[in-house]
Structure formats: structure tokens, C-alpha cells
Amino acid sequence: MTVEGLKNFIMAQGSSRAIVMMEWDKIWACNRKVIDPVAPRYTALLKSEVVTMVIAGTKEEMKLHPRHPKNPEVGQKEVWYSQKIFVEGADAETLQEGETVTLLNWGNVLVSKVTRREGKVVLLEGELALENTEFKNTQKLTWLADCGPAQTTPTICYHFDHIITKGVLKPEDNFEDYINYNSKVEYEMMGDPCLHGVQKGDIIQLQRRGFFICDEPFHPRSVHSGLESPCVLFHIPDGHTKPMPTSGSKKKKADGPLLPEQPIKKLKSSADHTLFNDEAVEQVKEKIEVQGEKVRSLKASGASKEVIDAKVASLLSLKAQYKSLTGKDLVASAGRRGGKPDKEKKEKEKREKEREKKDKEKKKEKKRQAETVAAAAKKEAEGEAGRKKQTRLGMECKKEENLSEWYTQVITKAEMVEYYDVSGCYILRPWSFAIWEKIQAFFDKGIKASGVENVYFPMFVSRAALEKEKDHIADFAPEVAWVTRSGSSELAEPIAVRPTSETVMYPAIAKWVQSHRDLPIRMNQWCNVVRWEFKHPQPFLRTREFLWQEGHSTFANKPDAEAEVMEILQLYRAVYEELLAIPVIPGRKTEKEKFAGGDYTTTIEAFISASGRGIQAATSHHLGQNFSKMFNIVFEHPDKVNHQV
């Protein structure tokens, strides 16, 4: 189903509050109008039933044919011809010697011999009759050449049927009796050589089989398994209700209808007709009653005969209309047949009394039920002596059964976080912030003992600074939050909220570093950062705003810089193992996972036993000279001028 097809269907229905029930084929028919003009045509044969056909006097060659017969913009495809071809087994069973058939994208062929074995066709022989251009009354066959250069594509086609086999289930029906346990049917096909190039998501048409979407493209023979991966196609309904001209269509036409009668449509149309008749009958009955009252009023008031006759004629016309709709005469009530008005009045009063009596009984019953419920609630409230009260203060699920729900209950019932009205942001309550203060104190003590000093840089970053290092910001681009307004006025240039601080710190470091005597510069800042674009936030693990520390050191030589990378990594390890009692494993990130713009990234990873997954605990990066070149951080050295840090 394409978005354009669904959009066209919605627009065709128009805006209405009415609830309309209709068949799926209406939507699929709209979808077909979108995909049919652009879907390339290919051929595929049922592999288990293919029959070989030998055509005398044919040479092996290749010609280009349009992928779409009416749209040249779709391009062209290669069609191979050879003396030996494959045709559908169902088609072969319908052929007779001396019959002329049409091979699509080729021409007419005269069937000269049909070889059968045990009543089944195993070989066909024919002669080309390309000079015969009479295609109107010939059977059309799809085929594939059997030649070396044109290797067929192994293809798997899936058809999906209705889950329930009955159109409309009645109240007395047991739905289990109508479950289709074989709603997914797989067909192994011999595909067109051009299917090698079909990509995932491409919509194509297999001639005489319908539309398909590629779920998995064809992959050549693997060096590991020695096997090819077939092209996997899913069938797309096209909304047709009449039989398609599929394989062996001539035989099927002779035997009888290809498709069973559609029970859903038949039932629905009859239901609509009945509903329409009922509504019309009720309207006519109301008109007859009104007209009858007018006639009786005129008679009672002594109106002239001409006036009464006109009203009676109108009444008779309405009664005739009622008979045409229902097939029977309208049976008049006692009042209309001339019964006494007093009798009708008494019956009406009797019905009113019965209704009042029933209403009183209902009120008494409701009152008794309310008293019963109140008594039961009172008894339950009093309870038995020593009965334990049920609360929701404890855990309500097990970690082994539902890890996500268990984690949510732990952090909320332990009063560690409170949810906030901005998605992905959370309130850190005193218990959780106390843990953060412990971590902060432990790590701060460690880095200060090593000579690192604390600083603070602004949280806002200009666009020019953020985009100066393209490779670096490309990794963070989707996550950057921008400030675009000040009050009700637009800012002249949007300002980013820091996702990380390299582009904030390094322009200042470039000013501070002049000579080798200014080095090393070792700084750390405790701050918060914002990374906006992601799904499924998780408190403490993945949030839009979070607290962290980031240290940035500048050295004159590479060995000193690499030594600090490992020193900080060991300090991170100490935070987890010595302070938090969580075992971690040190290592190095792959090129794909490393920090954007850095030389390499070292990491410590923790293991979540409940889920069996690993999680990143902390990282320490070696940035090399990538950022110093970008921000021109150079210093004068006795041996070299403008040396990069």
C-alpha cells in the first residue's frame, strides 16, 4: 500500500462523519492506479511445474524490450532468446498439436508435437511463425530462455490470504471453525534474469501473476555458505474481482469460474437493499397515518365531498405504493377500522399503568442492589481481625519477567526521579542527586590530585563555531537543540545548546596557547548537555538533558596525551568498581563507534545480567591533532615554529 494510493482513496471518499463499511478491494484499486503506470514488468514461472519447449531454427541472442509497455521512462530490459525455453506447466497442459500460441515479447509459435508421460506433458516442440501476426485469438504464454548467459533468478513469492474464511460471522458462529491456518502460501519460482537488479522495496509486476513488492533482493553465491539468496517477493492485491488471465487460463475458463462467489459482497449488498426497503416502508406508513388522520378529520368536520375525495385519492395512492414495496396490503389498526375511540383510549391508559408499575419495580430493585453493595463494602471495610491490608508500596513485578516495568517501578517507588512534562527530561530527587554528588566528589578528588583544574564554559554555541568542524558536528547534527526566538521576536542567527563542548572550549584554548611554556593545559568542567533527537528515553540511561563531566587537556607531544587517556579511563573504572561496586570491562571502540573527529576512543563497558546486554559506562578519547588543526591551536617551540598541539 503506497501513501499516494491511500491519499487518493481518502480524497475520493470526501469529508463525512458517516461510518461507511466497504471492501478492501476499493482501497487496493486506488493503489493500483498509482503503481501500475510505473511498475516494471518481469516474468516468473512456477519452478515445480515448468515444461521445456524446443523451438526449431532459433538462434541464441539478446534484444532490448521496454520494462513497461506504455511508459518508456521506466527503461529497458534484456530479453534472451534460445532454442530451448521454459513455459508454465499449467499452460502446457492446455496446448494441442497444430495449435498456434503467442510467446510474449517474441511472437507466434506453431506447436508441432506434445509429448506426454503418465498423462502429463513433459516436452513441447514447436516452430517459429513470426510472419503470423494474428494475436487476437491465440493463447498468450510467459516463458524464459534456457541459455548460459541468461541465468534465471531463484525467486520466492508469498501470497497472503484472509485469516477468517467466512465473509461475515453470525452470532451463533464459532470463529475457530473459520480460521484459515494456511493464510501464508509460499511459491518457489524460476525468475527473470533481470530480477537480479531488483532492490528491497521495489514494486514490480510479474506478467499474468500480479503486483509484488521486493522484501529481500537477490544475493549471489556466498563465499561462506556456497548458496545464493533468492529474491523474496510479497504479493500486492490490486482490487480485481474478476479472474486474472493467469497460467492455464484457457483450461480454467472451460472448466468453470476461476474464483468463488464473493460472500462478503453478496451479503453486504443484500443487507443494504433490505435496509433501504425498511426505511422506505416506514416512511410510507407514516405518510399513510398522517393522510388517514386528515381524511377522518375532514369527515368529522363535515367537509365537502370534493375535498374529501381528493384526500382519499392521495391516501389510496400511498397504500398502493406500500403494497409495491412490501407485496401485501396495509393492515389498518382498530382505530382506523372505525373502532370506538373510548376503547383505544382505555387500552392506552392500561399500557401507561403497566409502564408505571414496571418503572416502580425497577426503582425498588436498584435500591435493593445499592443497599446490598453498601452492606458488602461496609463489611469488607471492617474486615476480619488481624487481616493484612493490601498496598502498592512494594514492587508489583519481577525483574526476570518484565525488566522495563521493574526498572520504572524501582526508580519511582524509591523516590529517585519524578517525571516531567517535557519528554525525555526528568526531575532528580534528593536520593538520586545524592548519588551524583558522591560520584562527583570521588572523581573530582582523583583529577585534582593529578593536576586537573575545574572551569566552566557557556552552554550556548554559535552556529559558526558549531559548524567549523564538519565531521565532528555531523555525528551530533540530529541531536542539536537550537534557540531561535527571544520572546516574540526571531533571533538574527539561531544559537545551539551544547551537545558537547569541543567547539566551545577550543577557540579559547587557541588564544591561551602561545608557547611550549603554556602547556600542558588540563581542564575539566561539570555541566549539563542537551541531545534532543532520539526515541524511547530511559531515566539515567538515555535522556535529553543530563549531568556529566568533560575534561579537555592539551599537550605538546602525543605520548603525554595518550598517557592521560589511559589515566582517566582507569579513574572511570575506579568510580564503577570501587565506589559503585559495578564490574566493568575496559576496551577500545571500533572505527564506526568511536568519537566523531577523534583518532580513537577507549571505553569501559558494563554487563546487564537481566537483559544479557552490554552498556557503555564511560569513554576517554584521544583526539590527536584533528581539532588543533581545525581551530588553529599552535605554539612556538625551540625546535619548530607553529607546532600543532
Name the one residue in this structure whose C-alpha cell is 532454442. 83
42-79 pLDDT, tens per residue?
Answer: 999 999 999 999 998 888 889 999 999 899 999 999 99
Query: Which of 395-418 are b and which e, b meaning 16 or more Cβ less than 10 Å from the residue's Cβ?
Result: eeeeeeeeeeebbbbebeeeebbe
Name the one residue in this structure whose C-alpha cell is 453478496. 266
Q: Is the pLDDT of residue 458 over 90?
A: yes
Contact indicator for 202, 214 with CB cutoff of 8 Å:
yes
Percentage of residues in the chain with pLDDT exceeding 70?
86
CATH of the domain at 305: 1.10.287.10
Average pLDDT, rounded, for the chain:
83
Same-domain pairing of 417 and 562: yes
What region does 178 belong to: left with phi over 0, alpha with psi -120 to 50, or beta?
alpha
| Domain final residue pick, 196, 225, 255 | 255
8-17 pLDDT, tens per residue?
Answer: 888 877 777 7
**3-class secondary structure, 62:** strand
CA angle 628, 633, 638 (to 5 degrees): 115
Q: Is the pLDDT of residue 190 over 80?
A: yes
129-141 pLDDT, tens per residue?
Answer: 888 888 888 899 9
Name the one residue in this structure whose C-alpha cell is 530451448. 84
Same-domain pairing of 30 and 40: no
Residue 312 lies in a domain: yes
Same-domain pairing of 243 and 147: yes
397-425 pLDDT, tens per residue?
Answer: 888 888 888 998 999 999 999 999 998 89
Structural domain range at position 29: 3-34
Q: Is the pLDDT of residue 390 over 50?
A: yes
Same-domain pairing of 290 and 216: no
Residue 389 lies in a domain: no
| pLDDT confidence of residue 242 | 60
| Domain final residue pick, 326, 342, 362 | 326
- Which alpha helices (H) appear in 263-391, and where do they start and end? 263-301, 305-326, 341-382
3-state DSSP percent of the chain in helix, strand and coil, to 5: 35, 25, 35
Distance between first and last Cα of the chain: 57
Same-domain pairing of 480 and 570: yes
Residue 339 lies in a domain: no
Query: Which band of pLDDT confidence, cut at 50, 70 and 90, is reported for residue 641?
Result: low
Same-domain pairing of 202 and 303: no
Same-domain pairing of 230 and 124: yes
- Which alpha helices (H) appear in 81-196, and where do they start and end? 89-94
Amino acid identity of residue 314, one-letter, is S
Q: Is the pLDDT of residue 337 over 60?
A: no
Nearest C-alpha neighbor of 87 from the set 199, 207, 197:
207
Contact indicator for 180, 216 with CB cutoff of 8 Å:
no
Mean local confidence (pLDDT), 92-120: 90
Same-domain pairing of 211 and 296: no
* Whole-structure pTM value: 0.43
Same-domain pairing of 439 and 526: yes
CATH of the domain at 427: 3.30.930.10
507-533 pLDDT, tens per residue?
Answer: 999 999 988 888 999 999 999 999 886
| pLDDT confidence of residue 338 | 47
State which H helix or E strand residue 9 sits in: helix 3-13
User: What CA–CA distance (Å, rounded) separates 94 from 87?
Assistant: 12
Mean local confidence (pLDDT), 594-621: 91
Instruction: Tell me the three-class secondary structure of 547-573, residue by residue.
Output: EEEEEEEECCCHHHHHHHHHHHHHHHH
| Domain final residue pick, 208, 226, 255 | 255
Total domains in the fold of the chain: 4
| pLDDT confidence of residue 126 | 92
Residues 6+ apart with CB under 8 A from 372: none
Instruction: Give DSSP secondary structure letters for 400-469.
Output: TT-HHHHHHHHHHHTT-EEE-SSTT-EEE-HHHHHHHHHHHHHHHHHHHHTT-EE----SEEEHHHHTSS
Amino acid identity of residue 417, one-letter, is V
538-563 pLDDT, tens per residue?
Answer: 898 889 999 999 999 999 999 999 99
Identify the burial level of 445 via C-beta atoms within 10 angstroms of its C-beta, where 0-12 means exposed, 13-18 middle and 19 or more buried. Answer: exposed
User: What CA–CA distance (Å, rounded) separates 600 from 623?
Assistant: 7
